Structure 1
Amino acid sequence: MTDLFPRVFETERLRFERIHPETLDARDLYPHVREDSGIADATRFMTWDPHEHPKETMEYVQHTGEANDAADSGNYALYPKASEPGGGEFAGNAGLGADWERRSAELGIWLRKPFWGRGYSGERADAFVELAFARLDLDLVTVTVVDDNDRSVRAIEKYVDRWGGSHDGYFRHLRPHGDDPVNLHRYAIARADYESAGVDVDLAVVDE
């Protein structure tokens, strides 16, 4: 049986494996997300903090696997291919959360710092935009970013522009982050944008 979200897919430089307790050992993930791993720079603008203990990582993998099984989201461990520096090493997490009633999806990603600056965010975004529209038959893809996260803003604006999307709005105190609410920018790519953009996406489903 074919799942809504592919179990494994690849782009030109990256491999994506859907997160699940059967495929990702929390003990292998924990060294990359614990407090002393250097992950704090990556999570500064995220909705989660570095993990304090392995049980927290185990619960994350279990919860994410359940959401993937229910087709509420497609969350993937991201690995550069062998031809890339650090090939085969865990580089981060990328996901697409679906709102089926609204026929929309929201993108998300975090990368470990050694993998910043390689254009992986845009390559990943192109793949997930293709999945959202071509495979999942959704009508809108959105992404939000904290307003002072300049690095992510630049990356997002680059791929949103490539797909003909737009800055959708600026929302004050939209989401809690730690002890304080944060202001967010939202960007959107509509189906009409996707269909007229003519972007050639290098995406190969390896395991349905």
Structure 2
Amino acid sequence: MFITFEGIDGSGKSTQARLLAEALTAEGHDVVLTREPGGSPGAEEIRRLVLEGDPDRWSAETEILLFTAARRDHLERTIAPALAAGKIVICDRFADSTRMYQGLSRGDLRGLVDQLHGLMIGREPDLTFLIDLPPEVGLARAKGRQGKEERFEDFGLDLQVRMRAGFLALAREFAPRFRIFDGAAPKEEVSAAILATARTALGARA
């Protein structure tokens, strides 16, 4: 099963992806925890290009190409081999983030994102967990990390507001695979609900 986590910056999705991977591993599943952009040596190199530096470093069109290239390498070298081996792949972000960050939030480029996705990636997750959070809370959390990878946070609150609305719209568009969780709830409550949902989905595929 291919499971992804999505949400605005600072929503807690990376933490929840890790907690789910740990819980499923403890239950005896063979789990690969990965992330985007990144997840393979080549994709990690591209990650540094797109997440560091000035907000205006790349145009949205260039970013789409970079993210698609990273995703293709990630798919070839990490995701597809793990799924073929019968493992559960849990990924922190996937194509839905590109649909939002480059496809909608910085111009009307969703069609281009989907066209490249169809040509070069060709698959969607089996299950997507959207961690929803008020944009001002997420941005404060993200900026509080004080890391180097803050290029998208530096676009400010307006981007995060549009991103949240976009992710919720995307969840309606792809309703069969999306599940929405309240990122403002206690971390333990959210992780327990996510684990229960994952167990049900895995049981249905057994």
Return the TM-score normalized by structure 1: 0.29
Higher strand share: 1
Higher helix share: 2
